Structure 1
């Protein structure tokens, strides 16, 4: 089997599957352009632990980890099979690289099941989730991805799920797409230029080097998954960008595919 790409997805609001004003169909378009994985290893911004933990759940629960949304959203179930063997292998690879890594059954939070639902609506691709470490930095998550790179040779798609910009305090939920804060584009343009140049050192130091970095990410748990996906990529990766626009003034949605050169 050919080596699969690694991905970073901006999973948007939990309402992405039910709100026609949000770009949900584009995830299916992206999925159709990619090789079909045998399984997915998902790192979501919404499962954080002190050290990496891989979920060995065989039937992961659909976790509705949000409140105040329409009832329809809480009725959605995503009954994809778990990938316990993949989880155990991921944990072993991390331990082999010198990291601590645990294993426990854990369901799929909305950062995991929302993009899986949109990309693989038949829920027939096994998925294991791996936690992120919100108190650790970009370099740590890049090392996590590096340790997992070999999985891509065995039909595994490594996906980081977060948001390319994520400042809810700056969001205006009545704003139109054309009302986007221009600083959002300044940040994403810098980030994507550095991705295209494969400037890993600058990316890992983005909080010091990127324009408006702290404004775009007051806390960086929604960006950390991109560094895991980047770490899992080839050194000479090809970059594909799917820009889905900016919503609520400050929340940009962009997906990245790190492919083989």
Structure 2
């Protein structure tokens, strides 16, 4: 059965030079067989109710601006998996979670930036599942619980966001260990790591009240919501942190792997 992952995908510029984060992404799959398909839950596709992309050949969405032309020229031509889209819709509907099937949805940068490092040949089919920004951690944890059997069918499930995500405070090329990194960033990282390793689901679902400066680490929820989906998928499986860098001074790049 495939492990599940939460990846902090960082700036779209990592598609040109993924650095230490890219090495961590590569290591996640280095010892694994190729999955039958990947189900990607990205922070960059939000909808009122769950939606799943069913395109047979998803386009590469360049959902950003102000970056070099070379970034907009990149393509990630992975095939889609309409069969998986139908399966995801069926299991969520059975769990009382109505789903919309999107026939032409492409892959946003939260999906294709890490995937082009993990699977550079773009030869693994990919399906995206949306998040619901107006709903909180418990809803997304329930989504994950409903999806839990898919790994046994050769499906790899990845949540893609950012462990901290406050774009109002981004400070250029400042990384971990720099004294200019605000104290709340490593404090939030440490709290999340402690609770994840302890499998303290109740505390994690209540992170906005319990985690240090949670509203500063996440002015809005969307970049953390994918981790709750993966937590639901894992259902208490063994978790390890495989990367914990910081970029831009305030964007925690933590990567987690869950394995039964």
Per the TM superposition, whether the score is higher than 0.5 is yes
Q: Shift of the alpha carbon at 1:203?
A: 0.4
Tell me, yes or no, if structure 1 residue 194 matches structure 2 residue 195.
yes
RMSD of equivalent CA atoms: 1.3
Q: Shift of the alpha carbon at 1:177?
A: 3.6
Moved more, 245-254 or 33-42: 33-42
Q: Shift of the alpha carbon at 1:22?
A: 5.8
Q: Shift of the alpha carbon at 1:182?
A: 2.1
User: Secondary structure of the equivalent of 1:220?
Assistant: coil
Instruction: Tell me the residue number matched to 2:124.
Output: 125
1:1-261 correspondence runs (5 A): 3-19=1-17, 23-105=21-103, 106-179=105-178, 180-235=181-236, 237-260=237-260
Q: Does the Cα contact within 8 Å between 1:177 and 1:248 map onto a contact in 2? A: no
Q: 1:20 to 1:191 in 2, by over 3 A?
A: closer
The runs of 5 or more residues in structure 2 that have no matched partner are none
Distance, in Å, in 2 between the alignment partners of 1:141 and 1:45 is 12
The runs of 5 or more residues in structure 1 that have no matched partner are none
Q: Shift of the alpha carbon at 1:185?
A: 1.1
Q: Shift of the alpha carbon at 1:171?
A: 1.3
Distance, in Å, in 2 between the alignment partners of 1:220 and 1:48 is 11
Distance, in Å, in 1 between the alignment partners of 2:252 and 2:155 is 27
Q: 1:12 to 1:96 in 2, by over 3 A?
A: same
Q: Does the Cα contact within 8 Å between 1:242 and 1:255 map onto a contact in 2? A: yes
Q: Does the Cα contact within 8 Å between 2:21 and 2:243 map onto a contact in 1? A: no
Q: Does the Cα contact within 8 Å between 1:63 and 1:107 map onto a contact in 2? A: yes
Q: Shift of the alpha carbon at 1:178?
A: 2.7
User: Secondary structure of the equivalent of 1:46?
Assistant: strand
Distance, in Å, in 2 between the alignment partners of 1:21 and 1:88 is 36
User: Secondary structure of the equivalent of 2:145?
Assistant: helix
User: Secondary structure of the equivalent of 2:124?
Assistant: coil
Distance, in Å, in 1 between the alignment partners of 2:120 and 2:215 is 35
Distance, in Å, in 2 between the alignment partners of 1:5 and 1:243 is 16
Distance, in Å, in 1 between the alignment partners of 2:228 and 2:149 is 16
Distance, in Å, in 2 between the alignment partners of 1:189 and 1:141 is 22
User: Secondary structure of the equivalent of 1:33?
Assistant: coil
Number of residue pairs aligned between Structure 1 and Structure 2: 257
Moved more, 122-131 or 167-176: 167-176
